[in-house]
Amino acid sequence: MENPSAATRPPAIETVRLTKRYGKRPIIRDLTFQVRAGEVYALVGPNGAGKTTVIRLVSGLAFPTSGTVRMLGEDPHERPSVRRRLGAVVEAPAAFYPYLTGRRNLRLHGRLAGGVAESRIGEVLERMELTPAADRPVGVYSLGMRQRLGVAAALLTKPDVLVLDEPASGMDPLSLHLVHRVLREAAAEGTAVLLSTHHLDEVVAYCHHVGLMEEGALIDQVDLSERRARHRAHVSDAPSAVALLRGQLWVREAHARGAEVVVALRHDDDIVALAPALVRGGIDVYGLGRDVFDLRAHYRERVEAERVRRTLADVPGPTYGRGGRA
């Protein structure tokens, strides 16, 4: 899912050295990241890493101890009106008045948001496949239905920014797929999406950036858009293949990984030139395909490495800005 124009847009969400302490205990440390319109940014990390606190700081529910949060250029604490353009789910499961029906809960949200047409309520209920249950009290909804209603409430006002804490927790595979599809569509329509999640396999398919959190710090930011644009070739001589490919104008970057060469192309269409170029250079090509990024392995490796580093050095984690190490 390429989104080349996103990088030129101003950030819809921006945190700069965001820090939150409870007493002397740091919960969030020096967090800097950006999410632009049309991008999906996933915060991942072990339980207790601070993902929920970040979601609450960004949405204006909690106050930073230091650092700044900007939503569409505004501080959500100083300018609550900016929340007109925010859709959010900050509880898992999403919280609603259990004695009201799903539809009436959404009406209430609509009223608080300054008024939403009844047709729009029907539309989001339909989109989240909740129409058959719309007139039942939320108290009888399953966990997954509540979560879907949460996403429906977040989408209600056609927000420019979506902030979601574990939006798909406790969902069956079909609902899980639905929620991620809806988030992908929202981003394609230009909404900036920030979510925290443990569903690495789902987010790797469509997120633009992933922020890895551990102990309140952002230990890595991965540009998945760039990762998805890579290809790998199993070749007879990987070092020679790298040297050859680095000399090609249509190759942005090439490096060896065992018997394979991993190539980032300037344009996806240039893939057709890859094998012929290698063969012309006297290198046999045994296989060619997309370089599927293993986020799960990367996550495990980075979190474990960070834990070892902290144990040895006993120092706070690093801060990565946009374009940081991936």
Partner 1 sequence: MTALLAMEFGKLGRLVSVRFALVVLALFPILWAYAPGVFDVYGFFIVSGFQVPALSLLSSMAFLLPLLVAITAAELLGLEIQHGTLPTVLLRPVTRSQWLLAKVLVAATVPFLALAWFLITSLAAGAFFGFGEFVGGTGLGRDGLIGVGVMTPGAALGEVLRAYATAAYALVPVALLAVLFAVLFMNAAAGALATLASLIVMELLVVVPALTPYLLTTQLSAYVTPTAGLGWVVALIAFYCAGFAAAAVIVFERKDF
Query: Within 10 Å of residue 244's Cβ, how many Cβ atoms?
Result: 20
Local structure of residue 49 (DSSP, 8 states): S
Give the whole-angstrom CA distance, residue 261 versus residue 301. 21
Output the smallest distance, CB 181 to partner 1, in A. Answer: 23
Query: What is the chain's alpha carbon radius of gyration, rounded to the nearest angstrom?
Result: 22
Chain positions contacting partner 1, by CB under 8 A: 56, 59-63, 80-84, 86, 88, 90-91, 94-99, 108-109, 111-114, 153
Output the smallest distance, CB 209 to partner 1, in A. Answer: 23
Q: By C-beta, is 111 or 325 nearer to partner 1?
A: 111
Q: By C-beta, is 16 or 113 nearer to partner 1?
A: 113
Output the smallest distance, CB 276 to partner 1, in A. Answer: 55
Output the smallest distance, CB 84 to partner 1, in A. Answer: 4
Ramachandran sector of residue 7 (left: φ over 0; alpha: ψ -120 to 50; beta: rest): alpha
Give the whole-angstrom CA distance, residue 89 versus residue 137. 19
Q: How many residues does the chain have?
A: 326
Output the smallest distance, CB 111 to partner 1, in A. Answer: 5
Ramachandran sector of residue 74 (left: φ over 0; alpha: ψ -120 to 50; beta: rest): beta
- Please give the torsion angle defined by the CA atoms of residues 125, 142, 106 and 120, in that order, rounded to the nearest 10 degrees: 0
Output the smallest distance, CB 120 to partner 1, in A. Answer: 15
Q: By C-beta, is 164 or 265 nearer to partner 1?
A: 164
Output the smallest distance, CB 112 to partner 1, in A. Answer: 4
Q: By C-beta, is 49 or 265 nearer to partner 1?
A: 49
84: which 2 tokens?
Answer: 């007109």
Q: By C-beta, is 163 or 245 nearer to partner 1?
A: 163
Q: By C-beta, is 168 or 277 nearer to partner 1?
A: 168
Asked if 240 contacts 279 with a C-beta cutoff of 8 angstroms, the reply is no
Give the whole-angstrom CA distance, residue 287 versus residue 233. 6
78: which 2 tokens?
Answer: 């100083």
Q: By C-beta, is 15 or 59 nearer to partner 1?
A: 59
Separation of CA 190 from chain center? 14
Which stretch of DSSP H or E encloses residue 203? helix 200-206
Strand partners, 195: 42, 164
